[in-house]
Amino acid sequence: MSSFQIANELLRAGKLDEAVVAYRTAIEENPCFSWAYHNLAEALTQQGRFEEAIVAYRQATQLNPQSAWTYHNLAVVLTQQGLWTEAIAVYQKATEINPEFSSKAFFADQNKLSQEQQQAKIIEYRDRIQKHPDQAEFYHVLGQLLQAVGQWTEAVTCFQRYIELQGDAVHLEFYRNLGEALLEETQFPEDRQQQINKVF
């Protein structure tokens, strides 16, 4: 049995310290095997060693730049560390490789933040935009934060500005975000909606 296989068994058994050692041994034996770095990062994440996990995930993406799963996991850890701008860029790469990685799943963690934390993030990114008004990713992050708290009008404005700045580089996922925000912003009054339902 290889060191990588042993490490996987240790990880499944929850023996994280031993798994980390075994993954590092696997990397020494085969430093070009991306999944050894990926799984090492998973073990480090479970231990709460996020900075080390980020390093390992980055090494995995360098060796296997077509792994949407690795980019996604890296984005999640970056989010947990509050590195939102970098997380968005990494997550965009994941969705370009595999569109099944929906932004809804990625930003579901927003709902776990307290109202105070959400508002603090919103204030932080408004301030960043004031200082760097041409930084597209700031508008996307702020739009997602506003979407999470139901501030649809401003979210729409942010998504529109993001698309303007990105131009042809915008991924389909971001048009979907804008569409969802527009739908929420322009919801029909209940009586009007009932009339529409009768017609259709």
Q: Identify which of 145, 180, 141, 147 has the alpha carbon closest to the alpha carbon of residue 161.
A: 141
Residue 23: what pLDDT? 96
- CATH class assigned to 113-197: mainly alpha
The CATH code of domain 3-102 reads 1.25.40.10
* Domain ranges for the chain: 3-102, 113-197
Residue 161: what pLDDT? 87
Residue 140: what pLDDT? 78
- Quickly count: other Cβ atoms within 10 Å of residue 185's Cβ: 14
Residue 60: what pLDDT? 96
Residue 29: what pLDDT? 95
Residue 200: what pLDDT? 33
- Domain pair 3-102 / 113-197, same fold: yes
Q: In which residue ranges of the chain is pLDDT below 50?
A: 172, 187-200
Residue 198: what pLDDT? 40
Residue 177: what pLDDT? 57
| Runs of H (alpha helix) within the chain | 3-12, 16-29, 34-46, 50-63, 68-80, 84-97, 103-106, 115-131, 136-148, 152-166, 172-185, 190-199
How do residues 46-89 score in pLDDT, each as one tens digit? 999 999 999 999 999 999 998 888 998 898 899 888 887 788 88
Residue 27: what pLDDT? 96
User: What is the Cα–Cα distance from 96 to 37, expressed in whole angstroms?
Assistant: 22
User: What is the Cα–Cα distance from 8 to 30, expressed in whole angstroms?
Assistant: 15
